[in-house]
């Protein structure tokens, strides 16, 4: 009889979700369908909403998932993520976390990217894509800051609260 394969699914969105375009629901739906198609049992769904992929610190669900992997309490074989960038955007964190997972016999599957960490080609792709994701994160940050700087130079509002004593009017509506 074939052993039932178990998995965790991990999803994450950051404040840059408008840029990435992957809602939590869309990620979960895709991962659930993949698990069902691959005849995997989802043991737990871990989801960090509003957390940057800059590093793994401060992502409570990611931390909980890694602790569960290290304890072996659920005996999972895989962690499913929508894309590698949802797992993380810091190459060192991604590779260290992956190594820890593999030390406990757990492999990463990046469904949308078609990457499976147990294969040598998958490990190479994870190394390359995690570096690309880190560069992309830095590029988004740089572009955002340049846009804010340009708005300030043009004397336009850059967000936040109106200065004391002023009323902010956006699109004809008063914002206090």
Position 6 scores a pLDDT of 95
15-41 pLDDT per residue, tens? 654 445 578 888 999 999 999 999 999
Contact 48, 62 (CB under 8 A): yes
Residue of 14, 52, 85, 97 marked catalytic:
14
Q: What is the DSSP letter of 110?
A: E
127 — pLDDT class (breaks 50, 70, 90):
low
Measure Cα distances from 65 to 47, 128, 138, 151 in Å: 10, 24, 26, 41
- Strands 78-81 and 5-13 turn out to be parallel
Residues 130 and 84 sit within 8 Å (Cβ to Cβ): yes
Q: Which two tokens stand for residue 150?
A: 């340009």
Handedness of CA 20, 24, 26, 29 (dihedral sign): positive
Mean pLDDT of 37-58: 86
Q: What is the pLDDT of residues 140-169, one digit of tens each?
A: 667 777 777 777 777 776 767 777 777 777
pLDDT of residue 114: 85
Using CA atoms, how far apart are residues 79 and 8, in angstroms rounded to an integer? 5
Superfamily for the 5-144 domain: Resolvase, N-terminal catalytic domain (3.40.50.1390)
pLDDT at 19: 41
Q: How far separated are the first and last CA of the chain, in Å rounded?
A: 65
* pLDDT tens profile 62-94: 999 999 999 999 999 999 999 888 888 777 888
| Domain segments of the chain as ranges | 5-144
85 catalytic residue (yes or no): no
């Amino acid at each position: 009889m074939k052993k039932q394969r178990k998995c965790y699914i991990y999803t994450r969105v950051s404040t840059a979700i408008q840029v990435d375009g992957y809602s939590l629901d869309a990620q979960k739906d895709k991962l659930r369908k993949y698990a069902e198609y691959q005849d995997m049992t989802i043991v737990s769904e871990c989801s960090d909403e509003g957390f940057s992929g800059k590093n793994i610190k401060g992502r409570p669900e990611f931390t909980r998932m890694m602790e569960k992997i290290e304890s072996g309490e659920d005996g999972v074989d895989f962690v499913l993520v929508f894309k590698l960038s949802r797992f993380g955007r810091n190459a060192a964190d991604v590779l260290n976390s992956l190594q820890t997972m593999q030390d406990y016999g757990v492999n990463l599957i990046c469904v949308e990217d078609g990457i499976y960490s147990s294969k040598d080609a998958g490990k190479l792709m994870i190394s390359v894509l995690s570096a690309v994701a880190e560069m992309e994160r830095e590029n988004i940050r740089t572009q955002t800051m340049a846009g804010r700087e340009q708005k300030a130079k043009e004397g336009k509002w850059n967000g936040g609260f109106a200065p004391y004593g002023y009323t902010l009017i956006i699109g004809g509506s008063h914002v206090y």
